Structure formats: C-alpha cells, structure tokens
Amino acid sequence: MTNTTLQYYTSKHTNTMHSHIPFHYNAMTKPRTLNLTFFMQDIQIFEIFLAVLVFLLIHSLRQKRLHGLVVWPVLGMVPSLVTGLRTNLYEWITEALKRQNGTFRFKGPCFSNLNCIVTADPRNMEHLLKTKFPLFPKGGYFRNTVRDLLGDGIFNADDDTWQKQRKIASIEFHSTKFRQLTTESLFELVHYRLLPVLEASVKKSVAIDLQDILLRLTFDNVCMIAFGVDPGCLRLGLPKIPFAKAFEDATEATVFRFVTPTCVWKAMRLLNLGVERKLKKSIKGVDEFAENVIRTRKKELSLQCEDTKNRSDLLTVFMRLKDENGRPYSDKFLRDICVNFILAGRDTSSVALSWFFWLLEQNPEVEENILAEICMLVSQRNDIKREEFDNSLRFRPEEIKKMDYLHAALSEALRLYPSVPVDHKEVVKDDTFPDGTVLKKGTKVIYAIYAMGRMESIWGKDWKEFKPERWLRDGRFMSESAYKFTAFNGGPRLCLGKDFAYYQMKYAAASIIFRYRVKVVENHPVEPKLALTMYMKHGLKVNLYRRDVAQIHRHLGRVQIN
C-alpha cells in the first residue's frame, strides 16, 4: 500500500469515525433530555396539585371553624353528611350544633334541596313554635316529601286543613267517652295481652324483643282509638300483621327522602326503583287496610245499630261530621286522619318506653325508686289484700296520675331519646331568629330535639346523667318549658295526646316494673335507627325475671296489709 493510498484510507476512515461519533452521541442523549423535560413537567403538575389540595384543605378547615362543618367546593357539606349517615346522624348533628353554639347553616350543593338552618336554641324554638308561629308552617317541601304516606293528615297539614282537624280532635280528646275508651282499652291490653306474653317468655326462659312487644301494644291500642278495630298484634305467639309491617316499612322508607335530593327520589319513584319501590308497596298495604276498615264502618253506621251509636273512635267521629260544603268527608280524608293518628300514637310511646327500659337497667337506683313509689301508692288502699298485692294487682287511674317519680323518669328518658328526634319548618317571610340568624323566605329550618337534650347550656354539666330528680320539686313532678323540652312539640302544635301518652307509658311501665326485672341481653347492640321516629335499630333484646316478693315487701315498711 502506497503512502497516498494509506493517507486516503486513513483520512476516509477518520472522517467516517468522526462523522459517526456525533450521530451516536445525539441518539443517546436526546431521550434523556426529553425524559428530564417530562420529569420537570410532572414535578410542576404535582406541585400545582399539591398546592390546590393544601388550599382546599386550609379553606375547608377555615369553613369548619366558621360554619361548624367542612364546606367543600360544589359539594358543600354533603361529604360530612355522608359520614353522619354512616354513623349516628343525631350525634353528628349534636356535635355540629355544639361547635356553633346551638345553630348552624347546612350548605348542600346549589342544585339540591339540602340547604337549611339547623337549631337547638330554646330562644329560637319559642320564636318558631309560638311567637312567630304563622311564619313557620310545615311547608311545601315537607308536605310533598311525606304526602304519599301521610296525605293531608294533621302531621302534614298547614293552615285551615290543620286547624280543622286539630279542633275536632281536641274536642274528642277531652271528651269523657274518649277518655273512657282509651283507659279501658289500655287496661284490657296490658292485663290480657302484654302481661301474658311477658309471663310466657319467663316460663320458657327465652329472650324477647321488648321494643317489638311494646310496638304491638301501642299499635293495638291506637287502632282501637283511631279506627275502632282490634288488629290483634299483641297475642300469644305474636302473629304477623301485614298492616303493621307495611306501616313500619313506609315510615322507614319515607325518611330517606329527606336526605336524598328531590330530583333523585322523584326519578326513583317514577321508575319504581330501590327505596321508592319499597315505599310504594308498603303504602299499598296501609291503604288496603284503611280502605277495608272505612268500608266496613260505613256499612255498620248505615245499619244504625246500638253498638255504632256508642262508638267514640276518631274514624266514627269524623264520619258523622260534614266538610265546609256540607258533604261527608271523603274516604281519602278519613284514611289520612287515621294514618296520622296511628303514627302519632303507635311509635312515640313504644319507642320512648324502649329507651326508658334500656336506661333503667343502667341505673338500678332509679328502678328501685320507681318500685318504692309504686308500693307506697298502692299500700295506701284501704281494701288491699296480700294475695292481690303479690299476684294480681291492677293499678287505678288515680294511682297512675300520682306516680311523679315515674313521670320524671320517663321525661328524663324522653329528654335523652325523644321519640321524634328532629322536626321541620319552612320560612314563608324573611325573618331573624333571636340568636341573630337571618332567615330568608323559603329557608328550611330543622329543629334538633335530640340535640337539645344534650346541650350543657340548657341542662347543665350533668346533662349526660339519667337523673329524674331534675324534674322534681319537693317530690312533685314539675314540667319544663316546651321550648327547652320539645319532645311533645310546643305552641299551637303542642301534642294533643301528651297526657294520654304519659298515662299509657306510666301504666305499661309500672305494670312491668312491679312484676319483673328487665335485663338487656349481654352485648346486644343499641343504637338509633334513621326513621321518622327513633326506633332502636336492632330492637331491644331482653330477659325478664320475676320480681322478688321480699323486695316488694321491704318497700312496704310498716304498712299493714290484710
């Protein structure tokens, strides 16, 4: 190879090598540069996302300090509400109210029906239930939500419709015939149904669901009063009554409408889906029962027999009356009247008694005081005999009325576990609460009765204690203001059946306590159920034990019994 050739070859090879080196270098480094660019972009996106997240968190916490609950963009307080629904909604509301000194504004999504004022302030209660009563009706939202079940009955009605029903019912509730009907029917149910059912469980040594038993008792009782019929729920063997099951399912399904956007539940109703399908089916069962009773009663009244002339149940009373046009009330109106009174009379007393017996087991000294009061009152009879005292005691109405400590204990149970835990109003004209809360027309107001019983500002530092003595003055029961203790509502809508409810609860409670010790089954879960009334979610499973006669005689002291 010549030098020229060698130079050519070397030059060509060198140029070739040099020309390839930059090529290989670019191919290797370009992806790295791109990866680095993308990595830097990822860091920037992450930083932006983190900054937004921190901002939302700080903003939400600031909103929580201002409003009591975290307020999320678009969703408002709904995420917090979901948490409440998954735990104990009534406790969740209570804690929010405590953080906000008794009143807070719930903010839902702007497209929802969940925006409202929630309050447990006694000043506000008196304002909306009494002072400015005309400005706070039930309102269109409430009526539309529960109309499928309650129709235009007294619970759901406003204005003239409500006033008309209340006036007629008030006259009947205070009539001698009606009072006699209620006391006689209760006496029969307690002694010939309730006590035999309880005694059967003792003999068999089996646990029973006391809440179910009490619901059957009050259901039979209120059907006798409202319809003048005996459904026979509380019989040995505890038969299934389709109407009772349908009624309970309907009340449970109805309450879910209050925590569901209106457009959603109306769409579900239209498509017959989910809870709305259950509600439709259960209301059909309620309607069938009511229609059958109304049809039967009309036939009885047309015969004009002596038995129908003496009837004093609400259905018969309303059937004998005329509307503003001089015509008999429609079957739909009669159905609504009776269904509303069943809701009022069945659930409230039985639910209150269930919580009462649960609290009583945790406070044996209260049970002992109630037993002492019962024995003291009965021992004052001139004609009492030992055998009657031991085995077949029947309380007299005047004795029940004098049971002040028992009355106080039941009130204390209702303070902590009111049968109706929350209620609803709607503002029809701009107004302002005494605590300064501004109310715009159309605002929904929720007054939290459950929360009121847990406010230290209302009941003092010992609010957690089950303490009947807080209701007594020199041994006599003294009621609290209806705007502090709102278990029976207040103002013009104060519960018409309040006196009867106390009599019913006292009679049933005294009859049980005198004969049995009630012990809740170990590890039985007790928590409230989300419904129109505050059922125990899992019932109240208990074992009953016969009361030791020696314990009763100890309370008699030196009283001589023949």
Q: Is residue 62 part of a domain?
A: no
Q: Is residue 105 part of a domain?
A: no
Domain of 394 in residue numbering reads as: 133-560
Which CATH number characterizes residue 357's domain? 1.10.630.10
Q: Is residue 96 part of a domain?
A: no
Structural domains in the chain (count): 1
Closest CA to 392 of 180, 185, 190, 184: 190
Which residue's structure tokens are 């205070």? Answer: 174
Give pLDDT tens digits for 32-49. Answer: 555 556 555 566 676 666
CA dihedral in degrees (404, 407, 412, 417; nearest 10)?
Answer: 180
Q: Where are the alpha helices (DSSP H) in 306-363?
A: 306-309, 314-319, 331-342, 348-362
Q: Is residue 81 part of a domain?
A: no
Residue 540: Cβ within 10 Å count: 24
Per-residue pLDDT 10s for the chain (562 aa) are 444 444 444 444 444 444 444 444 454 555 555 555 655 556 667 666 666 566 556 655 555 555 557 666 666 667 777 777 778 889 989 998 998 899 988 887 766 677 889 999 999 999 999 999 999 999 988 899 999 999 988 888 888 888 888 888 888 888 888 888 888 999 999 999 999 999 999 999 999 999 999 999 999 998 888 888 888 999 998 998 888 889 888 988 898 888 788 888 999 999 999 999 999 999 999 999 889 889 888 888 887 665 666 677 888 888 888 877 888 889 999 999 888 888 887 888 999 999 999 999 999 999 999 999 998 898 888 766 655 555 578 899 999 999 999 999 999 999 999 999 999 999 999 999 999 999 999 999 999 999 999 999 999 999 999 999 999 999 999 999 999 999 999 999 999 889 999 999 999 999 999 999 999 999 999 999 888 889 899 999 999 999 887 777 777 664 455 4
Q: Is 210 exposed, middle or buried (0-12, 13-18, 19+ CB in 10 A)?
A: buried
Q: Residue 33: in which H helix or E strand, if any?
A: helix 3-67
Q: Is residue 420 part of a domain?
A: yes
Closest CA to 349 of 466, 207, 494, 487: 487
Q: Is residue 72 part of a domain?
A: no
455 phi/psi in degrees, rounded to 5: -90, 120
Q: Report pTM.
A: 0.84
Q: Which two tokens stand for residue 370?
A: 């109630």
For 535: left if phi > 0, alpha if psi spans -120 to 50, otherwise beta; the answer is: beta
Flag whether 495 is marked binding: yes
Which residue's structure tokens are 């299934």? Answer: 240
* Residues 352, 411 contacting (CB under 8 angstroms): no
Report the C-alpha gap between 412 and 367 in whole angstroms.
13
Q: Residue 477: in which H helix or E strand, if any?
A: strand 476-477
* Angle 37-42-44 from CA coordinates, rounded to 5°: 95
Distances from the Cα of 548 to the Cα of 371, 381, 488, 553, 560, angstroms = 12, 22, 36, 9, 19
Q: Is residue 140 part of a domain?
A: yes
Cross-strand pairs, 518: 544
Amino acid at 215: L
* Residues 555, 375 contacting (CB under 8 angstroms): yes
* Residues 313, 338 contacting (CB under 8 angstroms): no
Q: Is 405 exposed, middle or buried (0-12, 13-18, 19+ CB in 10 A)?
A: buried
Q: Is residue 73 part of a domain?
A: no
Report the C-alpha gap between 334 and 294 in whole angstroms.
8
Amino acid at 410: L
Q: What is the largest CA-CA distance in the chain?
A: 151
Report the C-alpha gap between 548 and 561 in whole angstroms.
18
